[in-house]
Amino acid sequence: MGKTMLGPQTLIYPMLAFLVGANVDGKPNFMAVAWGGIANGEPPMISVAIRHKRYTLKGIKQNMTFSVNIPSTDMVKETDYCGIISGAIVNKTKDCQFKVFYGKLDSVPLIEQCPVNLECKVVHVLDLGSHSLVIGQIEETHVSDSCLTDGKPDANKIKPFVYTTAPATQYQALGKVVAKAFSIGKELKASQ
Amino acid sequence: MGKTMLGPQTLIYPMLAFLVGANVDGKPNFMAVAWGGIANGEPPMISVAIRHKRYTLKGIKQNMTFSVNIPSTDMVKETDYCGIISGAIVNKTKDCQFKVFYGKLDSVPLIEQCPVNLECKVVHVLDLGSHSLVIGQIEETHVSDSCLTDGKPDANKIKPFVYTTAPATQYQALGKVVAKAFSIGKELKASQ
C-alpha cells in the first residue's frame, strides 16, 4: 500500500461542529468551531482553537468565560451561518432565532435549541500562531430533557453532526454503530 | 423546552478515534485517543489529552514527537484493543499486525494500514489535572494512495469513525451528508 506525502496539514477526520458562545460588549454572539476537543478529565476541560481576530474571542477575553453548544442535525443551517458571517456585522442570535439562556455563570450565553450546552471558565489562552487555543474548565452541563432517556443523555436523540473536508467541505450525520467500545478489542489475542 | 443540569462533565458529541503512536524505549506503541483536535492553523498543530501514567506518554516525552493515525472502520477492533490494554504489558504492534513505517522524523512510528498519518513534534505539554494536553506541530501528512481521488484525500475512501458515549460507549461510522458547508447558511437572512 503506497502513501503520498501532502506536507504539513490539518487533515483529520472528522472534525467537530460546535457553536461557541460569548457575550461581546454585553451581547451574546456565537461562532462555529470545528477545531477543539476535550482537554482534561478531572477537572473536565475543553479546548477550542479560534483565529485571533474573531469577534467571539473578544467576548471570551472580556469575560474569561464561554459556552460550547452542540447543535443537532436540524440546526445545520444556523451552525453554518454562524461560521460564515461575523457578529461584528450582524446579530446572529436574532438571525438564527436562538433562544438564549444563562445557567450557573452570568456571562455565558447558552442556546436553548442546542441539546447539549457546556458552561466554561477560561483557564489558559495559548497563542499558537494563527489561532488562540482557549482552554476552559467545564463548570456546568445542560442537556435538553427531550434528549434524555431514563435521565441520561441519549446520542440518538441529540443527533450531533460532524464537519468533514477533502474533497468537499460538508456536514455529516453520524451513521451506523460499527462496534461496542471496550469490547470488540477483546477479540484480539494478547501477546503476553 | 426544559433542560437538566448534569454537573461538570466531558459530554461532547461525538468524540474522535485516533491512534496516537510513539516509540517507548525504542519500540513503537500505540494508544487510542478520543480527546483531541486541531489546535492551530498556521503552523498546523494538533492536541491530544493523555492520562499522565499512560505508557505512550512516556515515549512521547522521551522523543518529544508522536504520530496521529486515523483508522478506518475496518480497523475498529484494533483501535479498541489499543484503548483497552497497555503497551507496558503487551506488544500492540504485533497483536494488531500493524505495519509500522517512518517518514520525515526518525522517532515517529506510523501505521501503514491507517489511511491518514500525521507526524508531530511536541511544542507544549500542559498538565491540566488528570491529563497532559500534548500539543504537537504537524510536520508531515501521509495519505494512503488508495484513499486519494484525483490526488486529493477522499473521506468516502478514508472511512473514519467516531466514538460516542451516553447512553453506550460505541464507535459509529459517518452517516449521510446533511448539508454543504459555507453554503446552506446563506439561506438565512442577515440582519444588517
| pLDDT tens digits for range A48-82 | 999 999 999 999 999 999 999 999 999 999 999 99
Per-residue model confidence (pLDDT) at position A191: 78
> In this structure, which amino acid lies at residue A30?
F
Residue B13 one-letter amino acid: Y
**Contact between A153 and B6 using a beta-carbon 8 Å cutoff:** yes
% residues pLDDT > 70 (chain B): 99
Q: How confident is the model at residue A159 (pLDDT cuts 50, 70, 90)?
A: very high
Burial B162-192 (b: 16+ CB within 10 A, else e): bbbbbeebbbbbbeebbbebeebbeebeeee
| Torsion angle in degrees (nearest 10) through CA of A6, A9, A14, A19 | -160
pLDDT of residue A192: 63
Q: What is the dihedral of CA B75, B77, B79, B82, to 10 degrees?
A: -140
Confidence category of residue B192, pLDDT binned at 50, 70, 90: low
Model confidence band, residue A1 (pLDDT cutoffs 50, 70, 90): low
For residue range A79-114, what is the model confidence (pLDDT) as tens digits?
999 999 999 999 999 999 999 999 999 999 999 999
For the cut 90, the answer to whether the pLDDT of residue B167 exceeds it is no
Q: What is the CA radius of gyration of chain B?
A: 18
pLDDT more than 70, % of chain A: 99
Residue A167 predicted with pLDDT over 80: no
Mean pLDDT value across chain B: 96
**CB pair distance less than 8 Å for A128 and B116:** no
**Opening angle at CA B102, ends B97 and B105, nearest 5:** 145
Residues linked to residue B37 through DSSP beta bridges, in sequence order: B47
Residue B83: pLDDT over 90: yes
pLDDT exceeds cutoff 90 at B92? yes
Contacts of A54 in chain B (CB under 8 A): none
Q: A86 in contact with B at a CB cutoff of 8 Å?
A: no
What pLDDT does A168 receive?
87
Complex-level ipTM: 0.96
Task: Tell me the three cell numbers of residue A176.
Answer: 451506523
- Find the closest chain A residue to B134 by CA distance: A39
Decide which of B34 and B166 is more confident: B34
Contact B160 A14 (CB under 8 A): yes
pTM, entire model: 0.97
Using CA coordinates, name the residue in chain B closest to A172: B177
* Span of A166-175, B80-89, B117-126, B174-183 with lowest mean pLDDT: A166-175
Confidence at residue A166, expressed as pLDDT on a 0 to 100 scale: 73
pLDDT bucket at B130, cuts 50 / 70 / 90: very high
Burial letters for B128-156: b for 16+ Cβ neighbours within 10 Å, e otherwise? bbebbbbbbbbbbbbbbeebbeeeebbbe
Q: How far apart are the first and last CA of chain A?
A: 29
Confidence at residue B1, expressed as pLDDT on a 0 to 100 scale: 67
Interface of B with A in 99-128 (CB under 8 A): 101, 103-104, 112-113, 116-118, 123-124, 126, 128
Q: How far are the Cα atoms of A74, A113, A192, B28, B78 from residue B94, in angstroms, in the given order?
A: 44, 47, 11, 10, 11
Residue A133 has pLDDT above 90, yes or no: yes
Torsion of CA B61, B66, B72, B73, to 10 degrees: 0
Count the neighbouring beta carbons within 10 Å of the beta carbon of residue B117.
26
Mean of pLDDT values over B64-78: 98
pLDDT of residue A2: 95
- Taking all residues of chain A, what is their mean pLDDT, rounded to a whole number? 96
Residue B77 in this model has a pLDDT that exceeds 90: yes
Q: Check if B34 contacts A (Cβ < 8 Å).
A: yes
Whether pLDDT at A128 is above 70: yes
